[in-house]
Each structure stands twice: as structure tokens, then as C-alpha cells.
Chain A
Amino acid sequence: MSVSVSQSNLLPTGAEFQKGLARRNFRGSVWGRFYSLSLVVAILALIALFLNIINSAVGYTITVYEVEPTALVAGGDIGSLDANQLVGILQEYQERRLPVYVRDNLSVVDPSLFTQVAISEALAGHTYPAELANLTVTELSRDQQASILAANLPLEVLRTLVRTDVIGEKVIHPYSLNESLFERARIDAELLEAQEDEPNARLEFRSWLNFDFLINPGSSDPAAAGVRTALFGTLWVIFITVLFAFPVGVGAAIYLEEYAAANRLNKLIETNIRNLAGVPSIIYGLLGLAVLVRSLEFITQGRTIISAGLTLGLLILPVIIINSQEAIRAVPSSIREASFGVGATKWQTIWNQVLPAAMPGILTGTILAMSRAVGETAPLIVIGASTFIVTDPTSPFAKFTALPIQIYQWTARPQSEFRAIAAAAIIVLLVLLLLFNATAIILRQRYRKSLQG
């Protein structure tokens, strides 16, 4: 039953149509492949990025020790030693440097005066035997110097001293995981070569990310360097950032959603926030440098945690406002009407009804904004956080370094040992971000459940 009710001769029919259709379908399938391929490329890039980091963070190293750790303690783990044992090792191997350690770590007076004044003055605020108060450091015996060190220095500082000044671990050549797995022959040959100069050079399989790396402060020696200082710096900065940006951001969101009439000023604020969200982060750095670090130096003390925290706070403010606005907007207006209906004031309604209902959304948005702030590097560089710091920050007015800054500085160094610790620090940063995001996801899930229940 071949029907052709209204065929003109204008359109292709029969075989001609079939041929055209085959061509059209072919073209479609080719492009369909391309579309799915672009997603595959994105996934491959992500995999390459992670593998590349792990590749650098783990692998063989050719290492030389001045003193084998196993010669100091059975098993070679100096982490198991107490303060007296560590100081004992320092006394045994670096006896003449004991006064220097006291000066570098404990002295409160000018270094040029250190050997001339009594320790009651030089070590004010530290513990020392009362009978020695009137002696100068050089008049103390080695044992007395050692016991002062043991009594006052934190364990991790003593460990670092033992590690750098006694063990003197030196990584001659680090290898990537890839090289370690597939080019063992070349590595062995290079080890033999190295042993010609350094007879005790030996091959070790090393994860640059290890417990010591987490608790050691920064150091110019890659083998002894850790992220402790940077990690503390990052946590401090984020604390200040959130302390500032959360109340202000949520406040602005409440204002815009609940109070603002549709007038010019409020429209301007809305547009302005949208545009601020698109300003490059480095410009916030310049703002922070000129205003917080320089003009307000009398408050912020310059290149300090508080300057950095406020700068990042301004940076993530638009993100928090926009996310909070969405969360507040999602609260059904029936809740507001019910509250007004029983005679609540505007603020009572917002505080008791709207905010609790919007809070999970607001918190999720804030955590996501926080994780953006954690990874921000450019503004911190511009406001000058990139100085070499090895002491833990103790107040918002302390100078500091931060995790991304540390990664930047280590990556920028040409030596491959620094690339390896940069990779290890990246893993620390990514784990930190993962924790933030996991919190946000759990929060979101809980919220969904509480809505359903």
C-alpha cells in the first residue's frame, strides 16, 4: 500500500532521502563522539593532575647521612626519644654549638650582648636553675647548657636540631614514583656513581608526605622541611576570614532579601555584588596591600594574619552573600506569614523562623566559600605573606606563611627535592579541602533528610 497523498517533487524521496538520512546520521554520531570525548578529556586531565602529584610525592631517593639514625637510637626513629635523650645526642655530636642553640632559641636580648649578660637577663621568662642566675652562658658547663635546653625547648625543635645538625640527612637525588617503578636499573647505576663521592650514599624508598612532614616547621633543607607553620598560618587566616565574612555576608543577604525595597541603592548593591564576584583575586590583594597592610598598619601591624584574613574575607564576601540569598529565598513565605500572624516583629520572624530554616544552605555556601579562600594564593603573595617563617603564629597580629604560599615557593624552586615536598604539601592542602567539602555535603544531606522527615 504505497501512499503518496501530498507528495510534491520539491523534497528528496526514496533512495535519495535514504542516502541523505544515512549521511545525517553519520554526521550526528561523529559529533556525538566528540561531545562525550570532551568529557573524557576533562576526566583524564583530572587523573593526570592527581597522578602527577602522587608521582612526585613518593619514590626512591639517594640519601646520605652524616650520622646514621640507627647509630643514635635502635630502629632509627628519633621521634621516640624524650627531651633529655635528644639533648644528649646534641651534646655528644655538636657540643660546641650548645650555646648557639640557647641563643637562637631562647635569648631575649640582642645577640651581640648575649654572651656578656647574666642568664637571668638573657633568658628572662625561661626556666633555669636559680643558682646559675648570675653567670653568663659561656660560664656554664656543657651539662648545664644542655639541661637548660632540655628544660625549655619543645620536643619538635630539639628533633629538628638533631635531624639537621646531627643526622644531616641529605637527599642527593629524588626520583619520581614512575622512575622508581620502571627505571630501577638507571637508578642503581646512578647510586653506584654517587657512592664514588659519598661512600655511605644509599637508596631509600621515601614518601615525602609523612608524619614528620606534618609536624615539622618550614626549613631551607627539603629533607627536614614540614608544613606545620604553614598549616597553622592557613587555619588562623581562615578563622579570621570566616569570623569577618560570615556575619557580614549573612547580614547583607538578610538585608537584600528581607528588608531592601526595590530602589536604586539596593539595585546598585545587587549588581555591585555580582560584579565583585568577578574581580580577579589578585586585585583584592592590591586592595589589602594598600589599605590593610599600609594605611591601617597601626591596627593590623602590617603583613599579618589579620590583614590576610580580612583581605580573603572581602574576597569571599560576594560568594557568601549570593549563596545566603539563595538559601533565604528558598524559605517558603508561608513561614514568614505564620510568624507575622502571631504578632512577631520583623527581626523576631527572621531570627526565629527564616534564619534557622535557611541555615543549612547558608552554612553549605559558607563552607564552599571557605574552601575557595583556603586555596587562594595570589592575594596572600601580594599582601606579602611570602616571608620565610618557621615559628607557629600565636595571634592574629603575627607574621605568617600559609599552605598555598608554601606550595608556591617550593614549586618555584628549580631543585627536584623542592618539587617533591611541594607535591606533598599539595596533598595536605587537597585533603584539607576534601574535609571542608565533605562537611558541606554531609550538611546538605542532613538538611534534605530533615526536610523529608
Chain B
Amino acid sequence: MTQNGAYAIQLKNVDVFYGPKLAVSDVSLNIQTRRITAFIGPSGCGKSTVLRSINRMNDLIPGARVQGDVTFQGQNLYAPEVDPVEVRRRIGMVFQKPNPFPKSIYDNVAYGPRLLGVRSKAVLDEIVEKSLKGAYLWDEVRSDLKKSGLALSGGQQQRLCIARTIAVEPEVILMDEPCSALDPIATQAVEDLMKILVKQYTIVIVTHNMQQAQRVSDFTAFFSIRKQEETPGKENRWGVLGEFAETTELFSSPNSEETERYIRGEFG
């Protein structure tokens, strides 16, 4: 079994391109198992891009290209024999805006298991209940699982999406600004949930909100923007990893002035 401090995912010299344009350059960091790692940084610094390269969601964008090594349990995710479909099952994702399918709550959660070939009603029932309980949504929806997922409130929808993600039993959950579309109370509920989930899952969260990173994460990666004037008036911008450390350390004694200015809220 894994011990605390073991690495679930390692990024080594990762560059991401969109077409000819460099989006993120030379990112190297190690994500620890069963810990919450937060990605912070100003808009356009590429934190979401890096997150999406971890479960190969970038494959879906025409022209996107990832260079360097992204290793999951010792296996390079971009090796030719790796099937992105399997990668995404084991590294799940929760998105910025809650995106339940226009189906019932039950069918939303059962979607993944059904893909994997689970047909038995009893097994599906068990998975749905377990996942909804895992996402602390069960008590609120147990009476009407047939209701459309779209009929839930924003915070409930996001927890439904989390339940849907854990139903396929991933090992890592990537969260791309999961609370940015939620009100403070719903945000609180999702943050509480993360703290419980991290006992079983490795979590990587992209957030725009430094307080949130401080509240929930164990490690924080700060991304920043590099600029270069290619021709006068036309500027190239790309993201780099500015600093990566334990959250308490990064926020109390940042290494660089840029990080310090960002966490003090001077730009962003």
C-alpha cells in the first residue's frame, strides 16, 4: 500500500502547446498520494491547462500537444500504448461549472459503471447509494433519485458531479475551480467534502481563490505568466511553475517576490 508522501503523479519538464502556441512551459512537480494539491495563479497562467494534461482532457482540443513526461504510478500517460479512456477512468475530473447530464440523478451516477459493463440493478443501486453517500448528497436526494439532475441547486449539482466521478472508483480526482460557480454555503459543503474524500483519493484542485487553497490544500503550486515581445505590439505569453511547496510554507514564507505579491492580492 502507498504510504504518506508517495507520489501519485509526477510531471517532468511538461510543455503544452495549442497549435504552434506555447501555453505552458517546463512544469515539473510531484503530486502526493492522498493529499490535496492546489494550483493557484493569475488568469492565463496555465493552471487549468496543466490540470487537464494530467488526465489527457487536452486530447479533445484540436491541435493541443503535450511534451515531457506525465507519470501516473510509474507509467507515462502519453506513451503510445496508453488508452486515454482508461486514464480518465482512473483519474476523474470535476469541472468549473456543475455539468450534470440531462438525466435522472440515478442515471447520472450510474453512467460510468454502466459504461464499464455493470448491468445488474442490485449492483448499480449499491454503487449509486455508496457514491451519493460519499458525496454527502444521499440524504438530500434519496427520496427522488428519478428527478432530473438539472433540477438540483448549484451546490447539489456539483456534489452530484463528484458522486458521478467517484462512482467509477478513480484513484485521483482533478477539480477545475469546482466552487467558482457556487455560493459561499455550497462552497463550504464542497470544501468539507474534499477534506473527507482526501482520506481515500488524491485530489488536485485548481482555484482562483487563495483563501480556499489555504483552507483545504496540503501543497500549493503557484503558476505565473512569462511574457516576451515577439514583434512590436505582439506579445507571447505562457505559463510557468513559479513555486511549489507545502501550503503553510508557501503562504507564510514565499520564496519569490512574485508569489508574495500574488498572495497578498496585488495582481491576479
Contact = CB atoms under 8 A, between A and B. Distances in A.
Interface of A: 1-8, 10-12, 17, 20-21, 24-25
B201 A10 contact: no
Contacts of A5: 2, 33-34, 171, 200-202
Q: Top 7 closest A-B pairs, CB basis?
A: A6-B200, A20-B117, A1-B73, A3-B2, A5-B200, A11-B116, A10-B123
Contact of B6 (A1, A4, A8): A1
A12 B117 contact: yes
Contact of A25 (B85, B116, B168, B200): B85
Nearest to B202: A5
A7 B169 contact: yes
Nearest to A23: B117
Contacts of B127: 8, 10-11
A25 B2 CA distance: 32
B115 interface: yes
Contacts of A12: 116-118
Given A21-B86, A25-B85, A10 B8 contact: no
A11 B34 CA distance: 21
Interface string B8-52: 100000000000000000000000011000000000000000000
A257 B34 CA distance: 59
Contacts, number: 53
A21 B85 contact: yes
B29 to A, nearest CB: 18
B83 interface: yes
29 contacts: A1-B6, A1-B73, A2-B73, A3-B8, A3-B33, A5-B2, A5-B34, A5-B171, A6-B171, A6-B201, A7-B169, A8-B127, A8-B130, A8-B169, A10-B113, A10-B118, A10-B123, A10-B127, A11-B113, A11-B118, A11-B127, A12-B117, A12-B118, A17-B86, A20-B117, A21-B83, A21-B85, A24-B115, A25-B85
Nearest to B170: A6
Q: Specify the main secondary structure of chain A where it touches its partner.
A: loop
B230 interface: no
A25 B83 CA distance: 10
Given A1-B74, A21-B83, A21-B85, A6 B117 contact: no
A4 B34 CA distance: 12
A350 to B, nearest CB: 39
Interface string B119-154: 000010011001000000000000000000000000
Of B2, B34, B116, B200, the most chain A CB neighbours within 10 A belong to B116
A2 B72 CA distance: 11
A11 B115 CA distance: 10
A24 B88 CA distance: 15
Nearest to B8: A3
Given A21-B85, A25-B85, A3 B73 contact: yes
Contacts of A7: 169
Interface in B90-128: 113, 115-118, 123, 126-127
Contact of A1 (B2, B86, B123, B130): B2
A4 B74 CA distance: 14
Given A1-B74, A3-B171, A21-B85, 18 more contacts: A2-B73, A3-B73, A5-B2, A5-B33, A5-B201, A7-B169, A8-B130, A10-B123, A10-B126, A10-B127, A11-B113, A20-B116, A20-B117, A21-B83, A21-B86, A24-B85, A24-B115, A25-B85
B69 to A, nearest CB: 16
Contacts of B200: 5-6
A10 B125 CA distance: 11
A2 B85 CA distance: 19
Contacts of A3: 1-2, 8, 33, 73, 171
Contacts of A25: 83, 85
Nearest to B112: A11
Nearest to A28: B85
Contact of A6 (B73, B74, B116, B169): B169
Nearest to B167: A11
Interface string B72-89: 011000000001011000
Nearest to B7: A1
B62 to A, nearest CB: 16
